[in-house]
Amino acid sequence: MSDNGKRGTARSPILVVGGGISGITAAIEAAETGFEVVLVEQNPFLGGRAIQMGKYFPKLCPPICGMEINFQRIRRNPKLRLYTQAEVKAVSGEPGDFEVTLHLAPRYVTQRCTACGKCVEACPVERDNAFNYGLDRTRAIYLPHPMSVPMKYVIDDSVCPGGTCARCVPACPAGAIELDNKSTILRLKVASIIMATGWRPYDAGTIENLGFGRFPNVITNVMMERLAALDGHTEGKITRPSDGKEARDVAFVQCAGSRDENHLPYCSAVCCLVSLKQALYVRGQNPDARVWIFYIDVRTPGCYEDFYLKVKADEGVRMVKGKVAVIKEDLPTRNLIVEAEDTSMGSKLKVPADLVVLATGMVPNQMDQKTATLLRCDEYGFMSSVAPKGGIYAGGVANAPADVAFCVRNSTGISLKAIQDVVRYG
Ligand SMILES: Cc1cc2nc3c(=O)[nH]c(=O)nc-3n(C[C@H](O)[C@H](O)[C@H](O)COP(=O)(O)OP(=O)(O)OC[C@H]3O[C@@H](n4cnc5c(N)ncnc54)[C@H](O)[C@@H]3O)c2cc1C
């Protein structure tokens, strides 16, 4: 396609909203093709949900391996501008000529931060660690995770309003803490917009019979990822939240709130593969560990069938076709009993477990009201892949539940659509 000789001249950039694997992919592909890109992420770090995984299926390598290559591509590309703690507040205009208003929240820690951690020793305030899904706590000044990009501490001003005690300031040898930082507004002209705003886990507390929120040893699949992650608070040891003891007998409940009209009517596409992967985490830590997977049916499309067959062949993994009726807890020991039907055998089962993992699905993140209408959404909130007039596109899980491999392919394609707008109108 001709670009009317405009390559290299000043043209409006592409805006990518969301710094998960989908947004990162779209941004890098466009920037490496020579186009200006602005990537905005609401968290103080890049990587989205995928960076919180213990390992990726199917290769079972830690996510940081692949992510680090992407982070290097971002660092060395002058065409890509990154804003963390940034949110889109308003969008107006039309394809080729959008005006976007960004809200940039204060970090209170400047570029001078060397990530030495001395500030943490001085900080007296604690907060739930959202990165570990509340399984542990951090101080109000914290590094989001050990491989965080940017590698800088940040202050959670919801628990430390106005830098109340200011003890971190003299503790910082680099003089990097500025408690008078304020939020700022940035207005940008952009040619096209990619929405890669991803997902959040379904609220398992709403599934009453499964005990999440009441029984500490009933956790969700995202929490299991943090338990099994080498950079997590247990350094990868799969232990019970109630007492820190090793979890030897682990039960997985598939479709926890998914394919259920009272919760999420749709299939989140990855939960079967996730539980199969997590079964390998458990079995890999202790050859005597036993795993039960309760499922309605197993969905491992395409080449993932091999992965399913491999896990199924493990003698320590028992696959049971049947719905879990209820999970009960023995209060003094906090041990769990999973009551379920085995539809293949026509029998009822009571399975004792140290830990139960609920395979909860993915809920699309919604923008605020002003920007929610940028793209049409389906009845569940997943965005259509292109706006009616063009110029705005959705990539990755913002568009549909999917694994990382799909998100990378899909976002690469979406990036091309955004580039076409820059060339057409730029
Ligand atoms: C338990 C579990 C385990 C999984 N394990 C695997 C696995 O092993 N292998 C695999 O291939 N897939 C796995 N997946 C799927 C994988 O997590 C997703 O495919 C991936 O996270 C999708 O990336 P994304 O960028 O589309 O969304 P996200 O990872 O959700 O990233 C979206 C980003 O956008 C940001 N954002 C949202 N709204 C805004 C806004 N308004 N402004 C600015 N930023 C915003 C978010 O903060 C986030 O950083 C797993 C899923 C689950 C539930």
Ligand 1 pocket test: pick from 40, 220, 273, 403 the residue with the most ligand atoms within 8 Å of its Cβ.
Answer: 403
Q: What is residue 4's predicted lDDT score, i.e. its pLDDT?
A: 39
The CATH T-level fold of domain 203-362 is: FAD/NAD(P)-binding domain (3.50.50)
Is the CB of residue 424 less than 8 Å from the CB of residue 418? no
Is the CB of residue 10 less than 8 Å from the CB of residue 191? no
Number of CB atoms found within 10 A of residue 359's CB? 27
Ligand 1 pocket test: pick from 89, 197, 399 the residue with the most ligand atoms within 8 Å of its Cβ.
Answer: 197
- Distance, CA of 26 to CA of 196 (rounded, Å): 9
Q: What is residue 228's predicted lDDT score, i.e. its pLDDT?
A: 98
Q: What is residue 3's predicted lDDT score, i.e. its pLDDT?
A: 38
Determine the CATH number of domain 14-99+185-198+365-425: 3.50.50.60
Q: What is residue 372's predicted lDDT score, i.e. its pLDDT?
A: 57
Q: Which atom of ligand 1 is nearest to the CA of 405?
A: 11
The sheet with strand 392-394 has its strands ordered as 80-83, 37-40, 14-17, 192-195, 392-394
Question: Is 399 touching ligand 1 by the criterion CB < 6 Å?
Answer: no
Residue nearest to atom 4 of ligand 1 (CA): 274
Fold match between domain 14-99+185-198+365-425 and domain 203-362: yes
Q: Output 286-291 pairs: Cβ under 8 A, ≥24 positions apart.
A: 286/246, 286/248, 287/316, 288/248, 288/316, 289/247, 289/248, 289/249, 289/250, 289/316, 290/248, 290/249, 290/250, 290/316, 290/318, 291/250, 291/251, 291/252, 291/316, 291/317, 291/318
Question: Is 53 touching ligand 1 by the criterion CB < 6 Å?
Answer: yes
Q: What is residue 8's predicted lDDT score, i.e. its pLDDT?
A: 42
Going from N- to C-terminal start, the domains of the chain cover 14-99+185-198+365-425, 118-171, 203-362
Question: Is 50 touching ligand 1 by the criterion CB < 6 Å?
Answer: yes
Low-confidence residues of the chain: pLDDT under 70 = 1-9, 367-373
Residues of 304-329 as b/e, b for ≥16 C-beta within 10 angstroms?
beebbeebeeeeebbbbbbbbeebeb
CA of 18 to the centre of ligand 1 (A): 9
Residue nearest to atom 13 of ligand 1 (CA): 403
Q: What is residue 368's predicted lDDT score, i.e. its pLDDT?
A: 57
CA of 419 to the centre of ligand 1 (A): 23
Q: Which atom of ligand 1 is nearest to the CA of 397?
A: 26
Burial of residue 58, with CB atoms counted within 10 A of its CB: 0-12 exposed, 13-18 middle, 19 or more buried:
middle
Q: What is residue 2's predicted lDDT score, i.e. its pLDDT?
A: 36
